[in-house]
Structure 1
Amino acid sequence: MSSTGAASAGVNPGQSFAAMVSETANRTIDTLQAAEQVSIKALQGDADARQVADAVMNAEQSLQAAVAIRDKIVTAYLEISRMAI
């Protein structure tokens, strides 16, 4: 990947893998918490159903992406652990 491709994807080329995974996890948590707050506002009458649906759908997409990333990391780890030395 070129440096311009990495920059356009929002990834710092010098950023460590652990920092990238941590940042992604934090963004996912923030999205889930925002959806929870919108749901609570709707229960209090301060938000409509569309806002809740949008927030929950965004949270679901973020969670699915996080699970897919986790699965890829686990698969890569298992492949590396099976390599002969």
Structure 2
Amino acid sequence: MIDNITKVSSLSSSRGLESLVESDATTQGVAPGENAGMNFASVLGSVATESMNSLKFAETKSFEAIQGKANTREVVDAVLQAQQSLNTAIALRDKIVNAYLEVTKMSI
């Protein structure tokens, strides 16, 4: 959960906001101020993909425990991580839906 939120909220520390601004966006056919490599949809897509991978990993660990290949601690850690990822995805979904509803309530 924290990892996914940190990736979205701290883009300036992980990739360097300066490098985004100073990139050669005009030579790539992208308008100035627009990032060619990352946009809102790609960030949400990557968060969703990471959440799905976490859920699949927890499921795999659960099956390994049933087969006797994984210990209980590994399964509990994987399931808790999957639960945190799912809670993060649900919270992001709720915020996006609320923002959309607020925009639709605005008068033009």
User: Which of the five TM-score ranges fits, normalised by the shorter chain?
Assistant: 0.7 to 0.9
Structure 2, unpaired ranges of 5+:
1-9, 21-34
How big is the shift at 1:11? 8.7
Give the match for residue 18 of structure 1: 41
Bigger radius of gyration = 2
TM-score by length of 2: 0.69
Unaligned segments of structure 1, at least 5 residues: none
Alignment partner of 1:29 is 2:52: yes
Structure holding more helix per residue: 1
Show the counterpart of 1:66.
89
Letter of the 1:39 counterpart: S
Tell me the CA shift for residue 10 of structure 1: 6.0
Aligned residue in 1 for 2:11:
6
- In structure 2, give the amino acid aligned to 1:6: L
Identical-pair percentage: 42
Number of corresponding residues = 81
Q: With CA pairs under 8 Å and 6+ residues apart, which has the higher RCO, 1 or 2? A: 2
1: CA distance, partners of 2:59 / 2:49: 15
2:65 and 2:105 map into 1 onto residues whose CA distance is 50
CA drift at 1:8:
2.4
Amino acid at match of 2:13: S
What amino acid does structure 2 have at the position aligned with 1:73? I
Partner of 1:82: 105
